Amino acid sequence: MAASRRAGGPPARRDTECILEPLSLPESPGGVAAVEGSPYVPCIFCKECYLLAEQKQLLKHMIIEHKLVIADVKLVADFRRYILHWKRRFAEQPVTDFCSVIRTNSEAPLEEQDNYFLLCDVLPEDRLLREQLQQKRLREVLEQQQRERYDTSFHSMCMFCDQEFTGNRSVLLNHMAREHAFNIGLPDNIVNCYEFLAVLQGKLDNLQCLYCEKVFRDKNTLKDHMRKKQHRRINAKNKEYDKFYVINYLEFGKSWEEVQSEDDRELLDNLEEDWSDWEEHPVCAVCLFCEQQADTTEKLYLHMQKSHGFDFPKIKSEHGLNFYRQVKLVNFIRREIHHCRCYNCQEKFQSKEGLISHMEETKHIRLLPARSMWDQPQYYFPTYENDTLLCTLSDSEDLITEDQSEDGPVVSEDISNLKALKQSSVLNQLLYKEEKNREEF
C-alpha cells in the first residue's frame, strides 16, 4: 500500500462518499411519468405547469401569453394527454402547420393587429387524437364499471336512514329508490359509484339540497324541504354528475342530453308503428292491514272486505268522505297499523299479526273512531312515500256530503242594507251552533 501511494496511485475511496439513497434524473414534461403520475399539466409552449384541476388557468395562460385557442376543450376526454401530444408536435414543426390563423383588428395599423392560433378538430390529426382519447377513456370506464358490477366487497351507508349495506352496490341503490324515492338511475348505468355517493353525501352534510342546491340552516329543515318539494333527486343540469354515467362516454363529441334527444327523435319517427300489443304494467296497491297487493282498487277493496271485514266503499258512502278525507283516513289507518295500535281502543300489540287478530275478533276493524282523531291536517302527508292506494282514491259522483243537499239552491243575499243583513244572515245561526257545540264539548 505504501509503495502504491509513493508511486502516485489514486487515494483510497472514502466511506463518507458512498451513495445511500437511489438517485433520479429529471424527466422531461412529456415523459411517461408526467402522463401517468404527475398531477401537473405543462403549457404547450413554455415551462409553466398547472394542476389538472387548474385547467382554466392554463387555457387562459396560453391565450394571453401565446395566442393559442383550443376549440371544444370540454369534449377532450383526457386533457393531459392531449396537451402533451401537442407539446411534442409543436416542438417538431411550426404552430402554423397545425393551427388556423385568426387575425384580430384587421383594419387597424399593422402594429396593433394580433394573430391568434386556433387548434380544433378540423385538423385530421387533432380529430383522430380526440377520438383515440375518447375510445381509451371509454375502455377504462367500461372496465371500471365491469369491476363494480361484480364487486361483492361494497360497503356503504344509506344517506337517508343510516342503514348499512354490504355486498353489491345495487342493493343500496335499489333500497334508496324503493324506500326513499331517491332514484339516481339503474346501477348498470353508473360508474365510480363510491365517488358518486361521496359527492352526494358531502352535499347533504353541507345541508345542501341535491336538486335545487339551496343551503338550509339545519338537517331537519333540509329533510322536510326535499320531501315536500319532491327534491329527492339530482339536478340533471349539474355537469358535476356527468362523469358518473356511462352514457356520457359513449359517443365522441356528444353529451348525454344530445344522445337522449336523438333517441327521442327516433321514437317520434316511429309513432306510426303498430303498438296494439303494448301492455301497460299495472300499478299495485297494498292492503291497509296486510301485505296483500292488487292491480285494481276493486280487487283490493274486495280483499279487505272478505279477509278483514273492512268495507271501504261502504264506509266512504256512509260517512260522506270526499277525496281529502279519504286521504286522511288512509294515512291515519296506515300509521296506527304501523305502530301496532288498534285505532278504536288504542291498545298496543307486539306484532302486526296480533293487532289484526284482535281487531277482527272484536270487530274494531269495521268501526271508525271519532272523526276528530283522524280528520287532522297531519294526515294529509302519506305515512308511506310509495303508497299507491292514495293515487287511486276518487270522489264518487253520487256522493252527497253532510254539507250538501240535493234540493238546496244557492240564493244570493241582498247587501243593500248591511246592518239588517248582519242581523238576519244565516251565518249567525251557524256561528251560534258552533259556539254551543264548543261549550258542550
Overall size of the chain counted in residues: 441
Confidence of residue 284 (pLDDT cuts 50, 70, 90): confident
Query: What pLDDT was estimated at residue 27?
Result: 44
Res 118 pLDDT > 90: yes
Q: Tell me which of 265 and 162 has the higher pLDDT.
A: 162
20-24, 231-235, 293-297, 326-330, range with the lowest pLDDT = 20-24
Q: How far apart are CA 117 and CA 383, in angstroms?
A: 63
Q: Average pLDDT, stretch 35-60?
A: 85
Q: How confident is the model over 293-332, as pLDDT tens digits? A: 888 888 889 999 999 999 999 988 888 888 889 999 999 9
Helices (H), 271-311: 297-308
- CA nearest 122: which of 92, 102, 146? 102
Closest CA to 316 of 291, 339, 335, 297: 297
CB atoms within 10 A of CB 82: 20
